[in-house]
């Protein structure tokens, strides 16, 4: 199957630097303390186990695996969503009568992709396979360039991209076939390219990739990332300037911007290890960002 086009929302221009991704990873473990503390307080109290002096739990010294800890979803397990009996998209799927608006799309390879949907005044980003926050049993099963396929009570239905959104500047862009074509596409659609290796950035943080791999804590001075909750769940991460605002001023971000997903994965469901591996294994990132109620799709190139 050929790669599907990526639908980009270009109402606002610019790129997000890799430091945003690194700060998400850095803040995961720090923020998890507060989240887990709240979860523990909500549980029924459990009496502590009294152990004799010198007694060891299980007869062994306590040992902790760092890799095991990193692989744990730090903000809790993702709520289980009903899985469709068959995710194969049928032919001639009828249009849905549900009052769901498709505000933005990032098409994937059939098993991935993100759709930004509005229903009853609420706008949320959903990954393929997630249950929609609407009455009944409705699951997102496919994301394409101009429409989505849902399963509504075991029947497949189609919802097209909102035409008003298209007139506001949503365009479908075919994947670039070369680096020069990609660069040209970025410049023409986004308007301004932020070079992570320019002197202004390197003067602050050094080599961006080396800093991300070896000294991510250094970025905490320049950027602050905090979780955003909605209906009791982590929705994404708000980005703002740190104690030193210079780096924040060099990138095209605004206070209150909320990062919702990275390469089709909801950031609320990502572990620290997954974020770091993504930074290490790829040099191209597609981010969904919410800004003042508008969903933006931004491409990051390391």
- The CATH number that applies at residue 254 is 2.30.42.10
Q: What are 137's two structure tokens?
A: 């049993």
Residue 247 within a domain:
yes
Kindly indicate the confidence band of residue 21, based on its pLDDT and cuts at 50, 70 and 90.
low
Residue 65 within a domain:
no
Domain containing residue 274: 14-35+193-301
Asked whether 248 and 242 are in contact (CB, 8 A), the reply is: yes
Kindly indicate the confidence band of residue 200, based on its pLDDT and cuts at 50, 70 and 90.
confident
Q: In the prediction, which pLDDT does 152 show? A: 93
Q: What is the mean pLDDT of residues 62-74?
A: 44
Residue 186 within a domain:
no
Residue 206 within a domain:
yes
Pairing of strands 257-262, 122-127: unpaired
Strand, coil or helix: 287: strand
Residue 233 within a domain:
yes
Does the pTM surpass 0.75? The reply is no
Residue 24 within a domain:
yes
Q: What are 6's two structure tokens?
A: 């990526």
Residue 267 within a domain:
yes
Q: In the prediction, which pLDDT does 163 show? A: 64
Q: In the prediction, which pLDDT does 31 show? A: 53
The total number of structural domains that make up the chain: 1
Residue 83 within a domain:
no
Distance CA(138)–CA(86), nearest Å, equals: 14
Q: In the prediction, which pLDDT does 28 show? A: 58
Counting beta carbons within 10 angstroms of the beta carbon of residue 122, is it exposed (0 to 12), middle (13 to 18) or buried (19 or more)? exposed
- Give per-residue pLDDT as tens, 75-121: 444 444 444 434 688 888 999 999 999 887 776 655 567 788 889 88
């Amino acid at each position: 199957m050929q790669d599907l086009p990526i639908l980009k929302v270009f109402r606002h221009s610019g790129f997000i630097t890799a430091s945003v991704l690194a700060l998400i990873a850095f803040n995961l473990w720090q923020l998890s303390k507060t989240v887990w503390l709240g979860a523990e307080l909500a549980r029924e109290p459990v009496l502590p186990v009294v152990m004799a002096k010198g007694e060891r739990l299980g007869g062994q010294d306590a040992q902790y695996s760092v890799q095991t800890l990193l692989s744990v979803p730090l903000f809790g397990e993702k709520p289980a969503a009903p899985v469709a009996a068959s995710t194969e998209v049928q032919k001639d799927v009828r249009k849905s009568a549900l009052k769901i608006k498709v505000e933005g799309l990032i098409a994937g390879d059939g098993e991935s992709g993100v759709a930004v949907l509005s229903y009853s005044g609420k706008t949320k980003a959903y990954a393929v396979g997630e249950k929609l926050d609407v009455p009944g049993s409705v699951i997102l099963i496919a994301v394409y360039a101009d429409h989505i396929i849902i399963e509504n009570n075991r029947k497949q239905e189609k919802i097209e991209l909102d035409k008003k959104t298209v007139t506001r500047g949503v365009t479908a862009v075919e994947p670039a076939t070369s680096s020069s074509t990609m660069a040209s596409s970025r410049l023409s659609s986004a308007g301004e390219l932020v070079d992570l290796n320019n002197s202004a950035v390197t003067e602050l943080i050094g080599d961006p990739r080396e800093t991300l791999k070896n000294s991510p804590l250094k970025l905490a001075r320049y950027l602050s990332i905090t979780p955003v909750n909605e209906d009791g769940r982590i929705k994404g991460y708000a980005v703002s300037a740190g104690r030193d605002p210079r780096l924040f001023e060099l990138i095209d971000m605004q206070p209150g911007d909320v990062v919702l997903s990275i390469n089709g994965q909801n950031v609320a469901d990502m572990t620290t290890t997954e974020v770091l591996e993504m930074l290490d294994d790829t040099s191209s990132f597609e981010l969904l960002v919410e800004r003042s109620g508008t969903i933006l799709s931004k491409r990051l190139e390391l």
